[in-house]
Every structure is written in structure tokens, then in C-alpha cells.
């Protein structure tokens, strides 16, 4: 997809990208998950590699081919994604968290298939760790970029995430707007910086949007990171 162009600022930069959904096991045949396709995160990983970065892609289960020139680390659950992200954070220059991490997982996982019974059942859920928030607390030199999937109050919710997760930049998208968000091949983003600036990325392909996002990250290289 990407023509190798001269992007000297990205050469040798270590970029960690997370993508896709996570799956939280209920029993051997069932899981909780979400509609993330992984396309946005894969496009970002591919675009960064095409600019000469050393890219590690931590991916939940998706049906996409690994992008060219990227080191792929497949994971399944939020817990596994947390462990992989945590292990690679220290050596990363830039972290871009496009993954749709499950916020909750079943409190108990059943080792045998759950059999149906005449009545209703309830599945108790517990919170997963917030990977990005934990990385935000640990960050030293890293540029930390998050995504925000919102169905309402996009700007307010996204800016709150910038603050609570100590991000440098967040890419917010509406999950209810036509052409934007989960599953499709296009996206429309609003980028909010920690310093209050914002940049719109008009509706375009996820590959184009990935390029815009990297362009928006680049000025942060010289700002003390």
C-alpha cells in the first residue's frame, strides 16, 4: 500500500502498535469480544514500517495478513496484551494503542463447556487492566498515542482520556457516524494533543488516515521526547 518515501525522522524509531479486539474466555467455545477489525492499527503499523521505523505490532485476533516489515506478536486476551505491551514499552520510542481492549472479562472461566439449563444465567464480569493508563504512569521519553471510540460527547471524552492516561495525542472517532470507526475501510478522526491543539482528519481510507496520524505525531519528536 505504501510507497517508500524519504522520512528520515522515522528511520530506526521503535514504534509499538496495538491493534484489533481482545477475546475474553467464558468457556472452551465462547468468549466476549467486540467489533474491532484491526484495520486501523494494521494500517498504522504498515505506514510506520514504510517510513523506516522498527515496528512491533501486538495484535488481538483479526483476519488480516501481517503487514510487510513488521514484527507481529499475536495475543488473545486483554491480560496477554497488557503483558506484551508492558514488556516492549521500555524499548519503544512511540506507542500507538489502536486496539479495542475489552473493559471487562468473565470473573470465572469454565474449563468445560457450559451446559444449558432451563433457567436464565448470569455471568459475573470483572474489570481488565487499563493498559494505556498503566503505560502512561510509566512513561519516560515515550510518545504515547491513544484512540478513543466514542458514541457521544467526543471532544470532552477524548480530552479526558488524554489527561487520565497521560497521553501526548489521542485519535478520536465516532463509532456511530457513517464511514467512521469499527470494521469499515474508512475513518474520520479528530486528533487532540495534550497541549490543547486539535487537527481534523477528514473521512478517508484507513491507510490515508494512518499517514495523517503519523504526520501529526512527527512534530512531537522534537518536543523533548
Q: What are the residue numbers of the active site?
A: 34
| CB closer to Ca ion out of 79 and 103 | 103
- Which residues contribute to the annotated binding site for CTP? 103, 113, 147, 161, 165
Q: Rounded distance, CA 29 to CA 221, Å?
A: 45
Task: Report the partner that residue 31 touches, choosing among Ca ion, ligand CTP, none (CB closer than 5 to 8 A by kind).
Answer: none
Q: Counting contacts by CB under 5 A, is residue 103 touching Ca ion?
A: yes
Q: Rounded distance, CA 160 to CA 137, Å?
A: 15
Task: Report the partner that residue 130 touches, choosing among ligand CTP, Ca ion, none (CB closer than 5 to 8 A by kind).
Answer: ligand CTP
**Residue 137 Cβ vs ligand CTP, minimum distance, rounded to whole Å:** 12
Give bridge partners of residue 24 from the DSSP assignment. Answer: 32
**Residue 66 Cβ vs Ca ion, minimum distance, rounded to whole Å:** 25
Q: Counting contacts by CB under 5 A, is residue 79 touching Ca ion?
A: no
Residue 48 backbone phi and psi in degrees, to 5: -70, -40
**Residue 7 Cβ vs Ca ion, minimum distance, rounded to whole Å:** 32
Q: Rounded distance, CA 198 to CA 187, Å?
A: 17
| CB closer to Ca ion out of 91 and 183 | 183
Comparing every residue's Cβ against Ca ion, the nearest one is 103
Q: Is 151 exposed, middle or buried (0-12, 13-18, 19+ CB in 10 A)?
A: exposed
Give the footprint of ligand CTP on this chain (CB under 6 A): 78, 97, 99, 101, 103, 128-132, 146-149, 161
Please check whether residue 210 is in contact with residue 221, taking contact to mean a CB–CB distance below 8 angstroms.
no
Contact partners, residue 132, CB within 8 Å, separation at least 6: 97, 144, 146, 165, 167
Considering only 45-53, 59-67, 99-107, 132-140, which stretch makes contact with Ca ion by CB under 5 A? 99-107
| CB closer to ligand CTP out of 14 and 133 | 133
Q: Counting contacts by CB under 5 A, is residue 93 touching Ca ion?
A: no
Q: In the chain, which residue ranges form alpha helices assigned H by DSSP?
A: 39-50, 78-89, 131-138, 154-164, 206-217
Which of 172, 224, 225 shows the shortest CA–CA distance to 198?
172
**Residue 86 Cβ vs ligand CTP, minimum distance, rounded to whole Å:** 11
| CB closer to ligand CTP out of 49 and 131 | 131
Q: Rounded distance, CA 113 to CA 54, Å?
A: 42
Task: Report the partner that residue 53 touches, choosing among ligand CTP, Ca ion, none (CB closer than 5 to 8 A by kind).
Answer: none
**Residue 100 Cβ vs ligand CTP, minimum distance, rounded to whole Å:** 7
Q: Rounded distance, CA 207 to CA 8, Å?
A: 20
By the criterion CB under 5 A, which residues form the site for Ca ion? 103
Amino acid at each position: 500500500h505504501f510507497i517508500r518515501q524519504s522520512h528520515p525522522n522515522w528511520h530506526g524509531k521503535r514504534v509499538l502498535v496495538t491493534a484489533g479486539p481482545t477475546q475474553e474466555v467464558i468457556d472452551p467455545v465462547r468468549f466476549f469480544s467486540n467489533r474491532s477489525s484491526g484495520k486501523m492499527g494494521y494500517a498504522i503499523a504498515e505506514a510506520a514500517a514504510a517510513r523506516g521505523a522498527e515496528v512491533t505490532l501486538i495484535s488481538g485476533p483479526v483476519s488480516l495478513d501481517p503487514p510487510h516489515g513488521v514484527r507481529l506478536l499475536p495475543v488473545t486476551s486483554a491480560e496477554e496484551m497488557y503483558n506484551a505491551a508492558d514488556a516492549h514499552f521500555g524499548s519503544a520510542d512511540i506507542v500507538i494503542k489502536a486496539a479495542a481492549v475489552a473493559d471487562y472479562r468473565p470473573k470465572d472461566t469454565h474449563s468445560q463447556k457450559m451446559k444449558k439449563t432451563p433457567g436464565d444465567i448470569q455471568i459475573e464480569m470483572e474489570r481488565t487492566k487499563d493498559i494505556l493508563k498503566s503505560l502512561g504512569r510509566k512513561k519516560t521519553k515515550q510518545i504515547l498515542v491513544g484512540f478513543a471510540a466514542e458514541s457521544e460527547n467526543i471532544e470532552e471524552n477524548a480530552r479526558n482520556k488524554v489527561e487520565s492516561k497521560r497521553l501526548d495525542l489521542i485519535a478520536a472517532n465516532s463509532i456511530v457516524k457513517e464511514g467512521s470507526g469499527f470494521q469499515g475501510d474508512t475513518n474520520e478522526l479528530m486528533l487532540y494533543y495534550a497541549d490543547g491543539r486539535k487537527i481534523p482528519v477528514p473521512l478517508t481510507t484507513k491507510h490515508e488516515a494512518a499517514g495523517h496520524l503519523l504526520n501529526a505525531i512527527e512534530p512531537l519528536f522534537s518536543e523533548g521526547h
